[in-house]
Structure 1
């Protein structure tokens, strides 16, 4: 009976549970990914608009750091994919999920619902490394805290390994997800966040997206205890 209980417990663990053999160190994780992706500021890209620049991240577009070692943003490389093109309004291609997994990412989150059901939800690479593919509409009213709580788990090491949040191009929905994290965890004000959001649309900040800009202007940081981080943690992850 005891052995059966242990087996059930192991099988019920989330995908990321066996991603590490050692005690979690935020400092070590941040240093590791700063070396992998030497992005000096929040505007530089590891992969460009056509998904080129780093073959280890192929399948992503406009890959940028948000919270160092913890949270990265971008798009999905479908329209410009050299191996298998498909419509731009799609989730990450399988190779993108697999490459993120190989890079040690434990989660990726898609900010639209289009064709998410067709994607693999648990990606395994190697003997132990796994990535879980999640879905949350970042622009939907009321979803902000759920997103922030998920990132918080990565900051605290409840889920070791970084998270990649993405939309289609890596501009609008992923930009909003990024700014609320920067305002929540790095004390950015709304003006700084809006300037960041606009610049990282790569010129695609037209009136069509005024509703997103309004959301950035109106976001208020949560004072909830379950989103708290220490000054030391903020110093490590914030740009």
Structure 2
């Protein structure tokens, strides 16, 4: 029987308990009992019992050791305190029941999870599941009888993913439902996928944070090209509105990421240069995974709409100190000298596009490297094509600490993770497509990529955001009945009164720019709202980045 922290709050206030670390022997001095002398299995109880410090903390290690009462699990980590856990099945390293690694939980793993109060386990593969019992009944540590259900779910099946999210939701919101253990063989890839999904659903993780979490949880086993599919599936997952939990419950359940993260353990994409430039050191080479060349080809289509190219432009706008080298590569087919020439042409194709877009030749160079340093095997066609690539080498940049995943100090107004339709660029694109001022389905649009220095309301002189504001000015001049309001917002950091003032000054900066651009003052107003109306959680840096924004509100007479 498990109580949520919310339900047990009054009991906890009057019956505080202290729990020791890494021990499977409970004493009366370390357990909280209710009036019937029953242990209260709250999220806080499990958090203290397993000494859960962060999402990467292992309760049991790679060989299944570390917590005797959970023997049979492997690489076990918390996902949500007292609600959901991930890991593997300890088969290959089992001291008394060794068997092939490709198996479900050993019997003692099920027994121990049952005794710890877990309500269910989920095996994320199919192999050998028919050999496993589907349930276990045991005496639980709360001195009650517990039933542990064992399921097989396919993490590639969207319906099964929903089933697992619902199981976790029931554990989080139902007092009588114990934690869920979601596991694969090693506790790395499949369990990492469903964990990333759970963190998006219940903790508000962005695509970026969820993918980083997945990579960190693989213990370095993340270099195969097939894992890119996992990352894309994590990004594609959309949280279910019917399984939403309150912010107060999120605060109780969601463990933090580690304070210090080795950036070399991450799968780095060009988007990282926008969101967490501090995590990418000088000299690092970032692969443009969405840039693909056909065999023998020196160009690719739709360069202006290519996701990686758009992010590269944003990165160059975000950091005026960023200097890069465009590196071209080939697979190992054909003559080596010809491959170097081919790779040089590929690099120059990207280089020419950047220069055409107004970036200085002092910031960008290019070079062809031919087939050296393949990132995938050249043996197979399916992987060889990944070696026909572009890499962006960081030559210099604004310096940040690279020991932390996120630098909390700088205020960089990079807007990410909200739907495309929420941006001013979407509205402008729709107006171009229709050639007329149609009535949009929504009236508020975020100005893309608008950046302010920390604590400053000085509008940048150039960049993508300024281009969009200028486009909006042209539309307004063609549609004299349309009025707008500029709304400024901040995150929840700092003093509320100062946030209102700062947001007002930033909104006024956009207002002044548009007045100077010829817009009549009776058609535009502005206001600062401080940290009101957040559109993302302020508990995370990515959410604070989104909340620091300028919105354009369209008003018709």
Q: Which residue does the alignment assign to 2:445?
A: none
> Cα deviations across residues 94-114 of structure 1 (Å, max 9, x unaligned)?
000001111111111111111
Quick one: distance in 2 between partners of 1:203 and 1:139? 22
Pick from 150, 156, 164: which aligns with 2:181? 164
| SS at 1:114 equivalent | coil
Q: Which runs of 5+ in 1 are unaligned?
A: 1-19
Quick one: distance in 1 between partners of 2:134 and 2:240? 30
Name whichever structure is richer in helix by fraction: 1
Alignment of 1:92-103 (within 5 A): 92-103=105-116
> Cα deviations across residues 67-116 of structure 1 (Å, max 9, x unaligned)?
11100000000011111111111000000000111111111111111111
Quick one: distance in 1 between partners of 2:120 and 2:216? 26
Given that residues 139 and 176 in structure 1 are in contact (C-alpha distance below 8 angstroms), is that contact kept between their aligned partners in structure 2? no
Pick from 210, 216, 225: which aligns with 2:234? 216
Pick from 185, 190, 207: which aligns with 2:202? 185
Given that residues 74 and 170 in structure 1 are in contact (C-alpha distance below 8 angstroms), is that contact kept between their aligned partners in structure 2? yes
> Cα deviations across residues 180-235 of structure 1 (Å, max 9, x unaligned)?
10001110001011111001100011223221122112222223x2x121122111
Pick from 174, 179, 196: which aligns with 2:213? 196
Quick one: distance in 2 between partners of 1:38 and 1:138? 28
Q: Which residue does the alignment assign to 2:67?
A: 54
1:139 Cα deviation from its structure 2 partner: 2.5
Given that residues 166 and 174 in structure 1 are in contact (C-alpha distance below 8 angstroms), is that contact kept between their aligned partners in structure 2? yes
Residue 151 in structure 1 maps to residue 168 in structure 2: yes
Residue 24 in structure 1 maps to residue 42 in structure 2: no
State how many pairs are aligned: 216
Alignment of 1:100-139 (within 5 A): 100-126=113-139, 128-139=145-156
1:141 Cα deviation from its structure 2 partner: 3.8
Residue 229 in structure 1 maps to residue 245 in structure 2: yes
1:52 Cα deviation from its structure 2 partner: 1.0
Work out which structure has the larger RCO, using CA pairs closer than 8 Å and 6 or more positions apart in sequence: 1
Q: Which residue does the alignment assign to 1:43?
A: 56
Given that residues 46 and 54 in structure 1 are in contact (C-alpha distance below 8 angstroms), is that contact kept between their aligned partners in structure 2? yes
Given that residues 153 and 159 in structure 1 are in contact (C-alpha distance below 8 angstroms), is that contact kept between their aligned partners in structure 2? no
Quick one: distance in 1 between partners of 2:4 and 2:52? 21
Pick from 176, 188, 191: which aligns with 1:174? 191
Q: Which residue does the alignment assign to 2:95?
A: 82
Given that residues 105 and 131 in structure 1 are in contact (C-alpha distance below 8 angstroms), is that contact kept between their aligned partners in structure 2? yes
1:142 Cα deviation from its structure 2 partner: 4.0
1:157 Cα deviation from its structure 2 partner: 1.0
Quick one: distance in 1 between partners of 2:205 and 2:211? 10
1:158 Cα deviation from its structure 2 partner: 6.2
Q: Which runs of 5+ in 2 are unaligned?
A: 9-41, 256-557
| SS at 1:99 equivalent | helix
| SS at 1:26 equivalent | coil
Quick one: distance in 1 between partners of 2:203 and 2:49? 22
> Cα deviations across residues 137-192 of structure 1 (Å, max 9, x unaligned)?
11334432221111111011165211100000000110011001000111000101
Structure 1-normalised TM-score?
0.86
Superposition RMSD in Å: 1.5
